[in-house]
Chains A and B, each alone.
Chain A
């Protein structure tokens, strides 16, 4: 069984936010009204975080970091879920079961990375967006928690295709939308257990680190430190 992971090279990342947009479209993430967005209810599975600012105004240089679900190997969210609406698959992906979620938001309160987003209400989406809905991803109703799933629907399609072609799933058959869209190739994705894969090598790089690793959550999304 592979163990899917991701490494994001902050040296290459230009903070263009293509991954943020691609993720939002790929996963039918709800677009909220301006008021709601102002009130802190904007929904993103992939988010560009400003970690710190270097230099003084006007020569200010923000240090950013694209943050999706860390797909922890020891996830604190699934520990507290009262109904098993979030669970860890055998391949390490932390998945959500939307029809099971009761909306208690305990997982949100316990995620140290604050990655989970809640459907506070269900707003009418722009007509153009509704036409662009991805048919492979369910549209979430109001009152449930959702988050990045490493585009698990792409894995299902890729493995079915591989099965139809009577072959094993090859590396590169399955990549999440953010990886595919990144114009500078800053995100590598694949099987962490396969020591020859690009992602596995990158995760063992001397620049590699995990966000808030000290909490023991064992994140499977790792970063390569930016070095001048």
Chain B
């Protein structure tokens, strides 16, 4: 990496690391250190081919998503994150009930597999269409759809309090609507 490349790399990190870190931490189930590690590794990869990358952000994000899925077996099996206690109930009961649900949801998200969590982050945090998620993860649209479906179902199992909520779009599709899962060589 020459001095010029290093400078443009530094500039990219200064401008984009905040947004990228958010994604990395969410992919890591809320674990800041794991998220920083994930982002650091993705940036190291990017630095190694800085001259050849046209769109650094797209590249780094793709590495983040795929890397996280690749290491889920290692990092997340049986691991649980402690979740902060819900805040004291204030005057607005509705608001505090919603806050409590979000805390429950955090705990449940942290206990998904990395693959399940990655699909949810891409769909619901990055707001990407299924086809785009499929392209990024290198799988079929059918796989994205069925993974999202199973992930939401798993969240309900992990946090029974969520069962009172209405079904999501991904859960309302009739099962015959699922595209066949591609077999990748």
Is the pairing of A and B real?
Answer: no
